[in-house]
Amino acid sequence: MKIQAVVQQKPGEQASIKNVELSVPRADEVLVKIVASGICHTDLYATENSTYYPIVLGHEGSGIIESIGSSVNHLQAGDHVVLSYTYCGTCMACLEGRTYECDQIYQNFEGLREDQTSPISYNEQTVAALIRQGSFASHVICHKNSVVKVEKDLDLHQLGPLGCGFMTGAGSILNYLKPKCGNSMVIIGAGSVGLAAVMAAKIAGCNPIIALDQVAFKLDTAKGIGATHCINGATSEDVSRDLLEISNGIDYIFDTTGNEQVLNAVQKVMNPGASGCGVGGNRPHLTDTEINEGKTWGEVDEGAAIPQVFIPQLIQYARDGEFPFAQLIRYFPLEEVHTAMDLARQGKIIKPVLIMP
């Protein structure tokens, strides 16, 4: 079938909306009509750094199933769904409930199936689908393990970012760090991932919850959804000192930036037994003394979350008024994809979401 999709044909070139060919689902796949899709940092990264081109961008889709493969038993046409990362379900990590550490998790970024094929083609050329999803499109075909069924009374326009950015931020707090009520928390970077972490830290009962960023409107947003204190790194003369004025040392840290200067400042005020993790790439280098004091730092993938378990939990938190993620969204029609991506790249908006025609 012919569909519309945003295709990145070469690194660095501007992606463009193309009419591409989409095949029928395989036995373990589903066809989903996309209603909306969030834009995530990974989409921006893939415009220049994908391992395969051409590629359809997008991996925070939400929509309605139109058809299913013959081996898909838990879903049916008409189901409302959120799409997330794909996992094999058969490797040791998956069998032990660590789908976010699946042996094939990084292959998904390439955008091809395990056998190096794709359901998408353009002018008889194979086109990959980012995270084996490619949700900047009118329709997608994805693996059954990527699909999370949601209630039909929910607004599908809002839900796509739960499949990656919001899940990563909230899951890093609730599934990986697992702070206790009353623990101090620093969240570095108040983008969509960091702000989801702020909301999760509030759910966990952390106090204080300190947001660090250099953009005033993001810090204002953090204060409105759960941060007890904010530090503007652009104006602070000494981040370590500012942190100690707020707390008696830090118990937990979540970093989304990879900013070495800020990480070093936070490292100086980690309490004995403090834990941190990040998705920004860099990490503090703990000394032997710090390690002997029980301080740890880890890396976390996909918020250490099983999508079919954690996304419904986030939805329930939202229903209860504890995870107001919809406040972070700004909507754009598909034809304004370049504007939305540029604003996201410049840090002028928090979570852009594309609405499909």
What are the chain's domains? 2-163+324-355 (3.90.180.10), 169-301 (3.40.50.720)
- The b-or-e profile of 48-74 (16+ CB within 10 A means b, else e) is eebebbbbbbbbbbbbbbeebbeebee
* Chain segment 86-98, per-residue pLDDT in tens: 999 999 999 999 9
* Chain segment 113-162, per-residue pLDDT in tens: 989 999 999 999 999 999 999 999 999 999 999 999 999 999 999 999 99
CA 352 vs CA 43, 61, 280, 315, 323: distances in Å: 12, 12, 20, 19, 18
182, 206 Cβ separation under 8 angstroms: yes
Check whether 192 has a pLDDT greater than 80: yes
* Chain segment 303-337, per-residue pLDDT in tens: 999 999 999 999 999 999 999 999 999 999 999 99
Residue 107's pLDDT is what? Answer: 81
Give the side-chain half-sphere CA count within 13 A for 314: 36
Check whether 100 has a pLDDT greater than 90: yes
Give the side-chain half-sphere CA count within 13 A for 182: 0
Confidence band (pLDDT; 50, 70, 90) for 262?
very high
Check whether 108 has a pLDDT greater than 90: no
